[in-house]
A and B are shown apart, each in its own frame.
Chain A
Amino acid sequence: AQSVTQPDIHITVSEGASLELRCNYSYGATPYLFWYVQSPGQGLQLLLKYFSGDTLVQGIKGFEAEFKRSQSSFNLRKPSVHWSDAAEYFCAVGGGTASKLTFGTGTRLQVTL
């Protein structure tokens, strides 16, 4: 069965500092991997996705993520965090004909000024 672990429930960083959110997955085949962001009271917005090819993927809002098959990880990074990045971030893995996604439990990011 597929699963996703986001080990950090809550992270606080200062504005301008770098950010790395961890994501580990379990999947029996080549995974499709996603990072979504959710602002309070809102739906989920896709930040970036990995299907194949280059293991470093670029997304919106200056985010990037690196797929490491040997570590079963897909960590999200940003070099310099802005106060508007405060939100909850979800990693998800999926694939197969039904394209079902399994989500992690999320990491809440707080940004201090």
Chain B
Amino acid sequence: NAGVTQTPKFRVLKTGQSMTLLCAQDMNHEYMYWYRQDPGMGLRLIHYSVGEGTTAKGEVPDGYNVSRLKKQNFLLGLESAAPSQTSVYFCASRNGPLYEQYFGPGTRLTVT
């Protein structure tokens, strides 16, 4: 099993550009999450999904959209990137409330 994979690993965007980050998991997990990690702030939840076709807002959702059209994939979109969205983005998945979250390796995004 590959576990949780994220594409791409690195990306540089100019302000106003758009992009989509892809998260894929091969563990048949129901729950998937997108976090951002910034120095001194830990991980903050952007959006999450409790099943195929469902999404919900987390702690810091502004400027991001998500979709979960297939159970194994969770996409994070930035429609108009801003320098404040420079961060490391982590995807995670889990099988339910009594299970740990498994994390992907992260995507380092820089917006200039």
Q: Cα distance A105–B97 when bound, in Å?
A: 22
Interface set, chain B 1-60, CB cutoff 8 A to A:
4, 31, 33, 35, 40-45, 48, 50, 56, 58
Stretch at the interface among A62-70, A78-86, A92-100: A92-100
Number of A positions contacting B (CB below 8 A) = 25
Q: Which of A51, A95, A103, A104 has most B Cβ within 10 Å?
A: A103
Stretch at the interface among B61-69, B75-83, B98-106: B98-106
Task: Tell me, rounded to whole Å, the shortest Cβ–Cβ distance linking B84 to chain A.
Answer: 18
Q: Which residues of B contact A101 (CB under 8 A)?
A: 33, 43, 45, 101
Contact status A105-B42, CB under 8 Å: yes
Q: Which residues of B contact A46 (CB under 8 A)?
A: 100-102
Q: Cα distance A97–B31 when bound, in Å?
A: 10
Can you report 24 A-B residue pairs in the complex whose CB atoms are below 8 A from each other? A4-B42, A32-B98, A34-B100, A34-B101, A36-B103, A42-B106, A43-B105, A44-B43, A44-B90, A46-B100, A49-B100, A90-B42, A96-B97, A98-B56, A99-B97, A100-B33, A100-B58, A101-B33, A101-B43, A101-B45, A102-B45, A103-B43, A105-B40, A105-B42
